[in-house]
Amino acid sequence: MLALALALACAPKSSTPSAPLPEDDGSVNWEREMMQLHMSEHFTRAAQARDHVIAGRLDEARAELSWLAEHDAFPGEPATYGSFMTDMRTIAETGVAARDAEGLAACIGGLGNTCGGCHQSLNVAARIPGSTGPAPDNNGGVHGHAARHGWAVDHLWIGLVKPDDAAWQGGLDAIRAPVFDMEGLGVPEEAAGTVAAYGMILSNMGQEQVGSADTGGRAELFGRVVSSCAGCHAAVR
Ligand code: HEC
Ligand code: HEC
């Protein structure tokens, strides 16, 4: 119930498509270069907020979101970007005010959806950085777990932000059969039950099918995935 309310608070309103970007003709294009710089910063801030929530550093996550909520439009930002930029700032503000990892995670999902909505409406194939290559195997230890699940979150994120259906499905496949080797992960005995439960929750989310047209549903699922990463980490620390 709480999760649903938060997800709704963080769901972007549908925005009207804007005018397409000018063609990239290889000449120096001020607007385009500004946009790329601006986007790299956006990407960094949003992805860091996401990783802070996963690691349980909630204040650091709020600080990144607060930058996204407060920073001004960049010089030359076309007025047509307005509604997406406004949605993005509003969602980031909701995230700053979120009390717990669950609320923050829901807002980060909503934020990713706004990114994806603008890219899609402008028809830009944004190059979203993240792990490349096939999903690493999980050998049961902390390193194997971090590599595989980090890869999964990267792909779900690219799936949402670019957006990219294949990346989204790849991310789901990678969380579907998680190996949580209690010993390899150094899980204290008293936390084993909770950790096993989170492992099941994550694996079940890997089986949820949300169509590519339902971007709000994907954003909500992304929020729940990040929230379960954070929840299990909090349980073992
Ligand atoms: C108002 C519309 C809009 C919003 C909102 C938006 N983007 Fe973008 N984004 C663009 C456009 C336009 C480009 C293409 C720039 C180019 O290559 O010319 C782009 C490109 C990118 C790139 C590639 C940059 C490069 O160097 O090629 C990344 C990464 C990116 N966006 C991330 C994000 C993230 C993360 C968010 C959300 C926090 C976001 N964007 C929100 C419009 C938007
Ligand atoms: C079932 C419990 C559980 C779930 C769910 C879980 N993790 Fe972990 N994770 C652990 C444990 C246990 C450790 C090792 C102890 C620690 O670092 O607190 C760990 C450590 C990590 C680390 C390394 C941290 C470091 O300091 O080196 C990363 C990165 C990581 N997890 C990412 C993720 C991501 C991303 C997700 C969600 C897709 C996730 N984890 C979901 C249990 C879990």
- pLDDT for 140 equals 85
| Residue 1 Cα to ligand 1 middle (Å) | 32
- The rounded average pLDDT for each run of 10 residues, N- to C-terminus, in the chain (237 residues) is 53 53 60 79 91 98 93 65 83 96 98 93 88 88 94 97 96 88 92 94 96 97 98 93
**Does the beta carbon of 237 lie inside 6 Å of ligand 2?**
yes
| Residue 39 Cα to ligand 1 middle (Å) | 5
**Does the beta carbon of 53 lie inside 6 Å of ligand 1?**
no
| Residue 183 Cα to ligand 2 middle (Å) | 13
pTM, two decimals, is: 0.91
Q: Tell the burial category of 111 from Cβ atoms under 10 Å away from its Cβ (0-12, 13-18, 19+).
A: buried
Q: Per DSSP, which regions of the chain are E strands?
A: none
Amino acid at 112: G
Q: What is the H or E stretch that residue 226 is in? A: helix 215-236
Half-sphere exposure of 17 (CA within 13 A, CB side): 9
- pLDDT for 177 equals 77
**Does the beta carbon of 153 lie inside 6 Å of ligand 2?**
yes
What atom of ligand 2 comes closest to residue 228's alpha carbon? 5
- pLDDT for 178 equals 72
- pLDDT for 211 equals 96
- pLDDT for 85 equals 83
Q: How big is the CA angle at 229 (ends 94 and 58), to the nearest 5 degrees?
A: 40
Residue 20 tokens, joined:
């397409």
- pLDDT for 146 equals 94
**Does the beta carbon of 43 lie inside 6 Å of ligand 1?**
yes
Nearest CA to ligand 2 atom 10: 233
Ligand nearest to the CA of 195: 2
| Residue 237 Cα to ligand 2 middle (Å) | 10
- pLDDT for 138 equals 86
